[in-house]
Structure 1
Amino acid sequence: MTITAAADGSALGNPGPAGWAWYIDEGTWRAGGWPHGTNNMGELKAVLDLLEATAVDADQHLHVLCDSQYVINSVTKWMPGWKRKGWRKKDGKPVLNVELLKDIDRALVGRSVEFEWVKGHAGHAMNEAADKRANAAATAFSKGQDPQVGPGYRGSGAADRQARAGAAPTADATTGAGATPSAPAQEPDDDLFSLFDTAPEQSAPVSCSTAPEETVLTADAPGASVLEQVTTRELALLGDALRADPPSAAELLHPAFTEIGASGRSYDREEILSHLAPLPGVEAVDLVAEEIADGVVLLRYTTVGPDGTAARTSLWQRERGRWLLRHHQGTPLDRP
């Protein structure tokens, strides 16, 4: 028998009042949160609580529906490498949300678990149900109220439900904070460049296993010009390696990043990173870069891919010695 559940997180302001929830059906769900946290903390806590709640049925296969590539990649790809390095990333920096990840690692022992990515805010019934409850919990904390914690899972006591739903994560090695840590400013949620405003091709569910560690953008080649540096970063953001690594991708986005997608919809930084995923088969051609002011580069090019062709414009800004993407816009060229 398989237990299928959706897990989701929410943070108002990111960081800000935060919530998490998992959902199996109307009679089997749970939610909680903290006065201050991040979306990624909520996403991870939802998975952790789901694992703990369903431990009474540890002999059953658990199928987790998740709209966060950050969570899926952390658990199924990067965690083995982080553990070998003492819970540090390839660049030597401490892993974010390490206590939650350690707890998930322990909760996975002896379990058969697979994760499946689903597109968030796209009408998936179970994902929408989890998102609604996570957002409600975050809203409750923003108002100083207790959240609705839900009925929980069979075999889990009410007192345990209430305690765990309201419990904040312990101190994180990256923050040094206490019971309700604030998040680093650059901590990502997990979609970068909405491209054709369509979901990537649905991939097969992925089981927990050892896989290559996260990919980071390499340093600029010696003597690279400003325009070459910016072009290199733009192409990296279009590549599958960086799109599968939200923490590294987030380091190239300006805190005030905005995007206007091919559909005309506007996105902010949190929205564009919330469902980061590879988009195979997309190629950038005819790149033209121009430094239009000191510390500002305009980049224009065309993307060609399975879903069509689009004209693209990106505005890069140098801030404290780093080139960050400030704005991106895409316009379809082959739509009726």
Structure 2
Amino acid sequence: MDVSLYSDGSSRGNPGPGGYGTILRYRAPSGTVHEKEFSAGFSCTTNNRMELLGAIVGLEALKRPCNVTLYSDSQYLVNAFNQNWVAGWLKRGWKNAQKQPVKNVDLWKRLLAAKEPHTVTFVWVKGHAGHAENERCDALATAAADNPACHQVDAGFRA
């Protein structure tokens, strides 16, 4: 199964209220397009955490191994895989090149577990540049960030 995953994260302040938006899209052999959207808001988090969580939620929603093309405007997310940062972090025991602890390690570990059954290609897209799915994910993420009535607690966030 070939799946397109689009995700974006938002934070009003960094840290501050935040949210993610994700779209999963699959075209069946019949030509029928199946699409599902996800979003959630959090009372206090960071933009990078929301970028990661958007990708995680999309991958965790897949019920069988897939070929996934993951589109994100987050260089933090995309470069971690395309420039092999994750491999270095693992080799150094979750330390970055400066020997400091990797930030958001709880989400990086969750992302690696969610990614494991799939073949994932990471593609960077320029944010706020008219990419329809990225714009939709941004709208979902910002709406979630701006809706305190629906906010959850980001249990892994550390100020």
1:52 paired residue among 29, 48, 60: 60
Q: Which amino acid aligns with 1:2?
A: D
| Corresponding residue SS for 2:24 | strand
* Residue deviations 1:70-97 (CA, integer Å, cap 9, x gap): 1111234201110111100121100011
Shift, 1:5, TM fit: 1.9
Q: Which amino acid aligns with 2:132?
A: A
TM-score by length of 2: 0.87
Q: Which has the higher helix share?
A: 2
* Residue deviations 1:177-205 (CA, integer Å, cap 9, x gap): xxx433xxxxxxxxxxxxxxxxxxxxxxx
Shift, 1:44, TM fit: 0.4
1:145 paired residue among 142, 146, 149: 149
Count the aligned residue pairs.
Answer: 150
Q: Which amino acid aligns with 2:158?
A: P
Tell whether 2:88 aligns with 1:84. no
Tell whether 2:112 aligns with 1:105. yes
Number of the residue aligned with 1:133: 140
CA distance in 1, matches of 2:153, 2:23: 19
| Corresponding residue SS for 1:113 | strand
Aligned pairs for 1:27-46 (under 5 A) are 27-46=35-54
Shift, 1:167, TM fit: 5.8
Aligned pairs for 1:249-328 (under 5 A) are none
Identity %: 36
Shift, 1:169, TM fit: 4.0
After superposition, the CA RMSD in angstroms is 1.7
Any conservation in 1 of the 2:43–2:153 contact (CA below 8 Å)? no
* Residue deviations 1:184-241 (CA, integer Å, cap 9, x gap): xxxxxxxxxxxxxxxxxxxxxxxxxxxxxxxxxxxxxxxxxxxxxxxxxxxxxxxxxx
Shift, 1:23, TM fit: 1.2
Any conservation in 2 of the 1:100–1:169 contact (CA below 8 Å)? no
| Corresponding residue SS for 1:121 | coil
| Corresponding residue SS for 1:57 | coil
Any conservation in 1 of the 2:17–2:45 contact (CA below 8 Å)? yes
* Residue deviations 1:93-144 (CA, integer Å, cap 9, x gap): 000111100111122223111111111101111101101000001101xxx3
CA distance in 1, matches of 2:17, 2:111: 22
Structure 1 residues 167 and 75: CA distance shift in structure 2, 3 A: farther
Where does the alignment leave 5 or more consecutive residues of structure 2 unmatched? Answer: 26-33
TM-score by length of 1: 0.43
Larger Rg: 1
Any conservation in 2 of the 1:34–1:167 contact (CA below 8 Å)? yes
Tell whether 2:51 aligns with 1:68. no
* Residue deviations 1:234-273 (CA, integer Å, cap 9, x gap): xxxxxxxxxxxxxxxxxxxxxxxxxxxxxxxxxxxxxxxx
CA distance in 2, matches of 1:69, 1:86: 22
